[in-house]
Amino acid sequence: MSALTLIETAKALVADDKGLLAMDESNPTCNKRFAALGIPQTHEARRAYRELIVTTPNLGECISGLILYDETIREAKKDGTPFLKIIVDAGIIPGIKVDTGAKDMAGHPGEKITEGLDGLRERLKEYAQMGARFAKWRAVITIGPGIPSRGCIEANAQALARYAALCQEAGLVPIIEPEVLMEGEHTMARCCEVTEEVLRTVFDEIYEQRVMLEGLILKPNMVLPGLACPQQEVVDVVADATVKCLLHAVPAAVPGIAFLSGGQSGELASARLDAMNVRFRKRLPWALAFSFARGIQQPAMEIWRGQETRVHLAQEALLYRAKCNRMARRGEYPAAMKGNSTASASRCDASSNLVSTN
Ligand code: 13P
């Protein structure tokens, strides 16, 4: 696979002020979110919900890439049209989550290690043949008393780098997602310290594993105080801390940084991304984009609740949040979107989504 193809795909994922929509929840995570809203936890309900997403009219105007899950990439619309065809016809690049989940790490109470390297080369080959052009792997770092440990950070960073090398070998752009979780009482300063250490370690390993920086996308958390921290910070302070942290740790050759939403409400995630672009866009080496799951999907799922009659309304809510984030990439979110009546309908109930178990 030529390096040029990887570079072009990575650039395309952050081009034109678009971003990624993650719809790669594993079945247990998808079922959990359905259960919270009284939606049946069946294969058909998951298929119908994912059909709602991929058939949202004009989604390709705001979304460059869709991250799928193994069940979803093989799925089809009720009329038999494969999801992959619908996605490509909409001008959207299909991608696939390839880790097999964050598991308890032996000898490291309270910490997780992401699994999925065994057999990965073969799985990547199959996904590439099916039409996927990028992949995703999520590592999870928890902040708490005495954690994260170096052992956990290093093991996860090495797994991310080995995954990334295998992706590039298969012609897939790796989305590298080391997520420092929001859960906890820690301050924003502590989140900044941990995020910087994690990112520096990840990029050290990426260098050791000979991964091409121009052919990857970083998907980090924003730098935020823990959810239970008494001192929460205003949007501009979060924007400044996040960009400063990234400037310390992310090489300029990386084409794009696409944030995860991590349990923030859709509106806050957009406002924070917007503030970063308002304040820094012209001075940064990489594009600051989005790769949200809950931050885009949650209002749509709440409207849909498994009812076929609500599909159109849910699609409007999904497209609305996708548009908000495109505006946030331009630093035009508040002026263009605040006061729009759909905003209240698309409010994300953060309290119902605090635990990310993707
Ligand atoms: P959230 O935006 O809901 O954090 O999900 C992003 C993601 O892809 C997690 O792996």
Q: Decide: 176 in ligand 1 pocket, CB within 6 A.
A: no
* Element (DSSP H or E) covering residue 301: helix 294-304
**How far is 302 from 317, CA to CA, in rounded Å?**
10
177 an active-site residue?
Answer: yes
Phi and psi angles of residue 280, each rounded to the nearest 5 degrees, phi first: -130, -10
CATH architecture of the domain with residue range 3-345: Alpha-Beta Barrel (3.20)
- Ligand 1 atom closest to 260 (CA): 2
Q: Which of 285, 282, 279, 278 is nearest to 331 (CA)?
A: 278
pLDDT band at 107 (very low <50, low <70, confident <90, very high): very high
| Percent of the chain surpassing pLDDT 70 | 93
The arithmetic mean of pLDDT across residues 121-141, rounded, is 98
- Ligand 1 atom closest to 294 (CA): 3
| 263 Cα to the center of ligand 1, angstroms | 8
If you ran DSSP here, which 8-state letter would residue 105 be given?
Answer: P
Q: Which of 169, 99, 166, 96 is nearest to 133 (CA)?
A: 96
What residues does each domain of the chain span? 3-345
Q: Which residue has a Cα nearest atom 5 of ligand 1?
A: 293
| 358 Cα to the center of ligand 1, angstroms | 7
pLDDT one-digit tens code per residue, 9-25:
999 999 999 999 999 99
Q: Which one of 111, 177, 196, 205 is the catalytic residue?
A: 177
In this prediction, residue 1 carries a pLDDT of 59
The arithmetic mean of pLDDT across residues 83-95, rounded, is 98
| Percent of the chain surpassing pLDDT 90 | 92
Q: Decide: 269 in ligand 1 pocket, CB within 6 A.
A: no
pLDDT one-digit tens code per residue, 286-304:
999 999 999 999 999 999 9
| 340 Cα to the center of ligand 1, angstroms | 25
pLDDT band at 337 (very low <50, low <70, confident <90, very high): low
37 has a pLDDT exceeding 50: yes
Q: Which residue has a Cα nearest atom 4 of ligand 1?
A: 262
Mean pLDDT, the chain, whole residue set: 94
CB 234 within 8 A of CB 275: no
Tell me the best of 138, 175, 356 to mutate to test the pocket of ligand 1, counting ligand atoms within 8 Å of each CB and taking the most. 356
**How far is 11 from 146, CA to CA, in rounded Å?**
39
In this prediction, residue 2 carries a pLDDT of 86
In this prediction, residue 344 carries a pLDDT of 34
Q: Which one of 97, 112, 136, 219 is the catalytic residue?
A: 219
Higher pLDDT, 137 or 351: 137
- Ligand 1 atom closest to 353 (CA): 3
In this prediction, residue 347 carries a pLDDT of 33
In this prediction, residue 338 carries a pLDDT of 53
183 an active-site residue?
Answer: no
The arithmetic mean of pLDDT across residues 48-69, rounded, is 98
In this prediction, residue 198 carries a pLDDT of 99
* Element (DSSP H or E) covering residue 242: helix 235-249
pLDDT band at 346 (very low <50, low <70, confident <90, very high): very low
CB 62 within 8 A of CB 326: yes
In this prediction, residue 283 carries a pLDDT of 96
pLDDT band at 345 (very low <50, low <70, confident <90, very high): very low
pLDDT one-digit tens code per residue, 169-221:
999 999 999 999 999 999 999 999 999 999 999 999 999 999 999 999 999 99
| 179 Cα to the center of ligand 1, angstroms | 9
